[in-house]
Amino acid sequence: MSSSVEISPAPPVPQWAAQPDAASFDGQTEAWANLRRKGYAAFSRHGFPTTRMEAWRNTSLAHLIDIDFQLAGGDHNITQAQLKPYLLPDGPVAVLVDGIFSPELSATGGLPAGMTLSSLASALQAGDTSALAQLDDEQALDEYPFSALNLAHLRDGVWLNLQPGTQFEGVAQILVISTGSRPTVSFPRLLITVGENTQLTVLERYIHLGESPSLTIPETDILCQQSAVVEHLRLHDENGAGDHIGSVRAVLRRDSHLRSIDISTGRRLIRNDIQGRLAEAGAALEMSGLYLVDGSGHVDNHTRLDHIAPHTTSAQNYKGILTDTARGVFTGRVVVHPEAQKTVARQTNRNLMLSDKARVHTDPQLEIFANDVKCNHGSTVGQIDRDALFYFSTRGIDEETARRLLIHGFTHEVVATLRNAALRDCAESAIDGWLETAGLA
Amino acid sequence: MLEIKNLHAGTGGAEILHGINLEISAGEVHAIMGPNGSGKSTLSQVLAGNDTYQVTSGTVTYKGADLLELSPELRAREGLFLSFQYPVAIPGVNNIYLLQAALNAIRKHRGEEPLDAIDFLELVRGRIKEVDLDEEFLHRPVNDGFSGGEKKRNEILQMLVLEPQLAILDETDSGLDIDALKLIAEGVNRYRSSERAILLITHYQRLLNYISPDKVHVLLDGRIVKSGGPELAVELEEKGYGWIQEELAEKAL
């Protein structure tokens, strides 16, 4: 008698996720090249994600496999004027074009002493071991295939660094552009390191210029030392042609505070793999997001927060508005480690469905290994409140205006947590812009 | 101003109002009193245009036009106002946005320019004092986390800002302490004029100690069974609703 074990064939790896070619290592230091090889080895262990993997159960990448995305070279003919609509009236800005730092489009002068906003490749080229060390993260490589793939293709990016004691009152902007007269893939890397007793506000914004489809696979690392205070807004202005599979990794040291808000809008694929590590006592993390999805768009927020040290606090508030045949996914995992007594962790996910063909999957996961903690989570899926619509109508307000007020009201809770007024305005105009394109304004 | 003739209405196939007849002229204050379940709130919701309720027969004429043909927002823009018994909480939408959107929708309908932010704020600041609320109240989400009394005062604030011609106050007195009740009564009394009409819907007589109605109607089981002057309210307070039911039973024999 013989028994047979069914072995599924390894799923195909698209050509754009194949091993980086040898030429791409030219001019890179040995340590840099080794880190990239480590990244690709980790990606190979994962394989290309399919819906058979638990973390990708509700998000299919099948439509991306056969697109002939080419690695873009960073050459471009973009002008300052083209970028104006996406920039704040003043403040420093670092511009990445298809993942490559563009000195001519960036404006990084006039920064306070102790603050740098510059090309990541320059630092790596110069053999800066601290930058290299920050990029090397075992847990990220073990859990996130696209974090590993991003590392494998590490060519350039932005490094925003604050020396201890540096307070920056303005808004540091990082504009990540994808271009293309042909389908392009890019792997931007954003490294944000803030020393002890620093304060920073960052706007990270993705835009797509060009007619061809693009795929952006970025990673943003935010590493907060003791008592750092950081506010971070991540906006996706890529139009319908730009798919996005991004990672955010935040590590918080003692008494540091990070508020990070993602606003994912549109009618395409956005996957956000968000990881937060509360590594030392007193760390506080607010991770929130809005996903406003129309057409056949698909937005997946996949969060994992680790409470490693005692007396740490996290709050997650993810809110979605879905219309047409849009899909939303929220998976929120909170792990409270055995040492992390007095943890406070709160998580909510609320969804407003504007169409009966839209769908949302919501999956909160709490894993608690400490006994003295306060953790709660809740998720809801609902429609526009008919009683509220009637109430507005009895005050003379037409249905369209009432809906707009209610939709703004739904998103307001997240936007209002931003302390910086310029970021709040950016968030509001992103929401208005989406309402307009989705035909809801 | 308002003429209701033989109005039958209900919800989900069950009739609640079995032929209401009521006529209110400009300058008048009418009170409809009745026990729980008599159809008081159904009547107010039907007049405001809540489509949860269906009108099966009868007519309602408002300022000479067929009210039932108008959408709720057109009714409001034509000067009909309902102060809700249980106003809905709307998290995330600030009270001031609702007030401004409402006032400007009504002004536009009247062919008036929208008020700019400064003039609007000046108007609201004047009115909010009349209901003894703090200005900070305008920047709280509509009815979200308001106490029972705050919700009722907010309804009256909206009435004072929107200046309707026909105000229907549904159980505005319930859940109010005596000071709040007096305050709201004073606001309503100041609001009375020869061009405006008010319909008070209430379970208890106590509001009528402070707002003297021109006419009082008793609503029982979906019908107005008795109408009279202010003295009828006093009689109801003393004797309850039972004696009217007995009187009706005797007549039926």
DSSP symbols for A320-331 = EEE-TT-EEEEE
Q: Write out the E strands in chain B.
A: 2-11, 14-24, 29-33, 54-62, 65-66, 80-83, 90-94, 141-142, 166-170, 197-202, 215-220, 223-228
B16 vs B9: CA distance, rounded Å = 6
Q: What letter represents residue B100's amino acid?
A: Q
B209 vs B206: CA distance, rounded Å = 5
Question: A430 lies in a domain?
Answer: no
Structure tokens at B86: 């249980």
Sheet holding B65-66, edge to edge: B14-24, B2-11, B54-62, B65-66
Structure tokens at A255: 């008494």
A342-353 as b/e: b if 16+ CB within 10 A: ebbbbbbbbbbb
pLDDT, residue A1, reads 46
A85-142 pLDDT per residue, tens: 999 998 999 999 999 999 999 999 889 999 999 999 999 999 888 899 999 999 999 9
A179-206 pLDDT per residue, tens: 877 899 999 999 999 999 999 999 999 9
Q: Which of B87, B91, B105 sits opposite A396 (nearest CB)?
A: B105
- What CATH number does the domain containing B82 carry? 3.40.50.300
pLDDT, residue A293, reads 95
Strands A172-178 and A199-208, bridge-based pairing: parallel
- Boundaries of domain holding A143: 15-385
A69-94 as b/e: b if 16+ CB within 10 A: bebbebebebeeeebeebbbeebbbb
Contact B80, B106 (CB under 8 A): no
CA distance B85 to chain A (A): 12
pLDDT, residue B163, reads 94
B16 vs B41: CA distance, rounded Å = 10
Interface of B with A in 124-143 (CB under 8 A): 141
* Helix B178-191 vs helix B117-130: crossing angle, to nearest 10: 120
Contact A396 B162 (CB under 8 A): yes
List the single best residue of B45, B50, B139, B160 to mutate versus A (max A Cβ within 10 A).
Answer: B50
Chain B CB within 8 Å of residue A404 CB: no
User: Which residue is it, tokens 């849009």?
Assistant: A326
| Regions in chain A scoring below 50 on pLDDT | 1
> Burial of B130 by CB count in 10 Å (0-12 exposed, 13-18 middle, 19+ buried)?
middle
CA distance B243 to chain A (A): 37
Chain A CB within 8 Å of residue B114 CB: no
B116 vs A386: CA distance, rounded Å = 30
Question: A425 lies in a domain?
Answer: no
B32-49 as b/e: b if 16+ CB within 10 A: bbbbeebbbbbbbbbbbb
Largest CA-CA distance found in chain A, in angstroms, rounded: 80
Contact B185, B153 (CB under 8 A): no
Contact B76 A408 (CB under 8 A): no
Nearest residue of B to residue A396 by CA position? B73
Interface of A with B in 370-389 (CB under 8 A): 385, 387-388
Contacts of B106 in chain A (CB under 8 A): 396
Q: Residues B234-244: what's their mean pLDDT?
A: 82
A78 vs B134: CA distance, rounded Å = 53
Q: Which of B76, B90, B102 sits opposite A388 (nearest CB)?
A: B90
Q: Residues B141-155: what's their mean pLDDT?
A: 90
Contact A401 B105 (CB under 8 A): yes
Report how many domains make up chain B: 1
Q: Is A355 helix (H, G, I), strand (E, B) or coil?
A: coil
Contact A435, A404 (CB under 8 A): yes
Region of A394 on the Ramachandran plot (φ > 0 left; ψ -120 to 50 alpha; else beta): alpha
Chain A CB within 8 Å of residue B47 CB: no
What A387-391 contacts at long range (C-beta under 8 Å, 24+ apart), as own/partner pairs, is A387/B88, A388/B88, A388/B90, A390/B50, A390/B51, A390/B72, A391/B84, A391/B87, A391/B88, A391/B90
B125 vs A200: CA distance, rounded Å = 38
Chain B CB within 8 Å of residue A82 CB: no
A262 vs A237: CA distance, rounded Å = 12
Question: A127 lies in a domain?
Answer: yes
Structure tokens at A272: 């956000």
Read off φ and ψ for residue A81, nearest 5 degrees.
Answer: -60, -35
Give B29's contacts (C-beta < 8 A, 6+ positions apart): B192, B197, B198, B199, B200, B211, B212, B213, B214, B215
Read off φ and ψ for residue A287, nearest 5 degrees.
Answer: -120, 110
Contact B92 A394 (CB under 8 A): no
Q: Is B43 helix (H, G, I), strand (E, B) or coil?
A: helix
Q: Residues B38-48: what's their mean pLDDT?
A: 95
Q: Which of A391, A401, A408 sits opposite B88 (nearest CB)?
A: A391
- Boundaries of domain holding B210: 2-252
The per-residue pLDDT of chain B, averaged, comes to: 91
Of B110, B51, B112, give the one whose Cα is nearest residue B79.
Answer: B110
Contact B98 A395 (CB under 8 A): yes
Question: A80 lies in a domain?
Answer: yes
Of B109, B15, B98, give the one whose Cα is nearest residue B53.
Answer: B15
Contact A395 B109 (CB under 8 A): no
Q: Which of A390, A399, A405 sits opposite B93 (nearest CB)?
A: A405
- Is the pLDDT higher at A77 or at B66? B66
A307 vs B14: CA distance, rounded Å = 56
B141 vs B121: CA distance, rounded Å = 17
Contacts of B82 in chain A (CB under 8 A): 394
Chain A CB within 8 Å of residue B46 CB: no
Of A383, A392, A404, give the one whose Cα is nearest residue B72.
Answer: A392
Q: What is the DSSP letter of B33?
A: E
Contact A42, A142 (CB under 8 A): yes
Count of CA atoms in the C-beta half-sphere (13 A) of B4: 18
CA distance A174 to chain B (A): 30
Report how many domains make up chain A: 1
pLDDT, residue A393, reads 97
